[in-house]
Amino acid sequence: MSAAPPAGTAPIHVADVKAARGAAWLKQAFLMYRGRPLAWTGLVFGWIAITLGLSIVPLVGWAAAYLLQPVFFASFALIARKQLAGGRPEMGDLFLAFKGNVRSLMGIGAIELFAFVAAMLLMATFVLPAGADGQALTREELPAQLKGKEWGVLACLAIVALVRSALWFAPAVIAFHGIPTAHAVRWSIYAVLSNLGAMVVYALVLTAIMVLSALTLYLGLLVAVPVMAISTFVGYTDVFEKPGEPTPA
């Protein structure tokens, strides 16, 4: 499937790749990380620091942090492209995507935020209602309230995971093609469904990497999180950019 994006950008194509490519995305991402390890570690933990800083702002901070996640991941894609072109990633590059189609990127964040809020409301309504006298459940009451309702927690988590998975390609697609949110959502869903095997393998291998990283007193996350960030770009190029075609500027 292909289509013509706005003038000045490359046509959009979606390739069907083998399931094993999901693991290859992480391998290639690690090789890119190894080329500039300090830069990528600094960039990723700069992103984490900003996200945590926003999250502690009362009322609107956590929502702003959620909305900006696709913008930061679009920046990671742009930084990875810069590195492949021979450039050196810099801390200021963390804000590269803020100079582009921020509205569309925040639209992706809004969809993910809506899914998260909807899942939490469902959990609060059907899985974890308030305790006695309408008060919040205490730590002692929580295990008893959850007994027999684990399915509800898993279902709510699945809603969030499915939405985020469906939009996995969207930040990079917007970053390199400048298309609106709705079009990016369509292309991302189509790409995910066309490459479901690769996405499943990617998710399983990434989960294993994160678990193993946690077993190293979380020191492994210094590598695993940057590799995860870079892998979104690697996956995008594998699916959306055919070998030998010009890549978008």
Give the separation between CA 132 and CA 50, rounded to whole angstroms.
38
Residue 58 has a pLDDT of 87
Helix (H) or strand (E) holding 2: strand 2-3
pTM, entire model:
0.87
SS (H, E, C) 208-232: HHHHHHHCCCCCCHHHHHHHHHHHH
| Cβ-contact 177, 163 below 8 angstroms | no
Residue 152 has a pLDDT of 74
Splitting the chain (249 residues) into consecutive groups of 10 residues, what average pLDDT does each group show? 51 92 97 97 97 92 95 98 96 96 97 93 73 56 65 84 96 96 97 97 97 93 97 97 51
Q: Which amino acid is at 222?
A: L
Q: Which amino acid is at 41?
A: T
